[in-house]
A = this chain, B = another copy of it.
Amino acid sequence: MSGNDALFVGLDVGGTTMKAAVVDASGRPAPSVVMATESFKGQEAGLETMCETIRRAVKAAGKTMADIAGIGVATPGTMDIDAGLILDPPNLKPWQNVPVRQHIQEKFKIPTAFQNDANAAAYGEYWVGAGREVKSMVLFTLGTGVGGGIIIDDKVLQGQHSHGGEIGHMKIELGNARLCGCGRRGCLEAYCSATSVVKRTREALVENKNSSLYPLLAGKEEDLSSRAIFTAAAAGDEFAKKIVDGTAYYLAVGSMNLMHIIDPDAIVFGGGMTAAGEPFLNLVKQYINELAFPVPATKTKIRYAQLGSDAGFIGSAACAKYLVHGVL
């Protein structure tokens, strides 16, 4: 079992569900399986659910564990990647100091890679998604927060202390700036996560009673979603257009900073907000052209992600492949 015939399992553990599939050496996934994470049942139960998800993925591919050359596992939250440890993840309470890699490796006697979930998603997009022909790539994942991952020359930039690619927490505003979910002020995430877009909208709506979004202020909380805001903007609502425009500007600031630090071949946007489609991407590109140095502004590829929620397990499988073969 080696070279191009090798098979890997990628497992992507999230706060609500975990998803896994067998992936071949060229990045093609077999049908995926999903199980509930139920972290409240404790970390022993969680580790067993991870193993069971892996087993089911292998079964779903019509294979046995003997066919698997490597396993890759990605998890959210604070971690020590080199040690294979989940530390104290806010989305997986009450887990603490969980030796994920060691547990899975010993259970299956198969080489196991461990990675941050956002880094793994970036690696998946780099391998067979939006970045499959580029040499370096930054992924911004726009959801509840702003996640990210950086890939350079086939390697995940995980950082010396497992904090590489935490690009949602670069500070883009000084002083008493917008409060981020992390408790800091001025983080990129505080301006252009889906949650922040809604927050900025709620704050400004009070003085924009003519907007088609205004009645939603009094409705159910989930009605005033980032999707509703982008839809209103697309329908011509002037207030919503301003919010969307600001969001594009903030994303361009984040992109520009990465262009002047990493200077990647491609910048890729993933997550729910990508539903906003080409007009929004063009707006981001327009601001990047205004903000960044001309060469990276014109030459960097700016795209949406292509793998959706499969990026995590595909990227985890990529980590397994890199671990076993030493190349992607």
| Dominant secondary structure of chain A at its interface with chain B | loop
CB of A89 within 8 Å of the partner chain: no
Least distance between A137 CB and chain B CB atoms (Å) = 10
Copies of this chain, count: 2
* CB closest residue in chain B, given A298: B161
> Are B293 and A262 closer than 8 Å at their CB atoms?
no
Interface residues of A (CB under 8 A from B): 78, 134-136, 150, 152, 157-167, 169-174, 182, 184, 250, 253, 256-265, 291, 293, 295-296, 299-300
Expressed in whole angstroms, the Cα–Cα distance for A171 and B293 within the complex equals 12
Evaluate contact between A170 and B261: CB separation under 8 angstroms: yes
Q: In the complex, how many angstroms separate the beta carbon of A278 from the nearest chain B beta carbon?
A: 24
B174:A261 contact, CB within 8 angstroms: no
Task: Determine whether the beta carbon of A164 is less than 8 Å from that of B300.
Answer: no
The residues of B that contact A257 with a CB separation of less than 8 Å are 170-171, 257, 261
Is there an interface contact between A260 and B295, defined as CB atoms closer than 8 Å? no
Cβ A167 vs Cβ B261 within 8 A: yes
Q: Please give 9 more A-B residue pairs, beta carbons under 8 A apart, in addition to A157-B262, A159-B263, A163-B295.
A: A160-B300, A165-B261, A166-B263, A169-B260, A172-B173, A173-B174, A184-B291, A257-B257, A257-B261
Q: Is the CB of B260 within 8 A of A166?
A: yes
Given A152-B157, A184-B291, A261:B172 Cβ within 8 A: no
CB<8 Å pairs between A and B, sample of 26: A134-B160, A136-B159, A136-B160, A152-B152, A157-B262, A158-B263, A159-B263, A159-B264, A160-B299, A161-B296, A162-B295, A163-B259, A164-B261, A164-B263, A166-B261, A166-B263, A169-B293, A170-B170, A170-B257, A170-B260, A170-B261, A171-B172, A172-B173, A174-B253, A184-B291, A258-B261
- Tell which of B134, B159, B184, B263 touches A163, judged by Cβ atoms closer than 8 Å: B263
For A152, what are the chain B residues with a Cβ–Cβ distance below 8 Å?
152, 157
What's the least CB distance linking A28 to chain B, in Å?
27
Alpha-carbon gap, A259 to B167, bound state (A) = 10
Nearest chain B CB to A295 CB, angstrom units: 5
Most chain B beta carbons < 10 A, residue from A134, A164, A165, A182: A164
Interface pair A256/B160, CB less than 8 Å apart: no
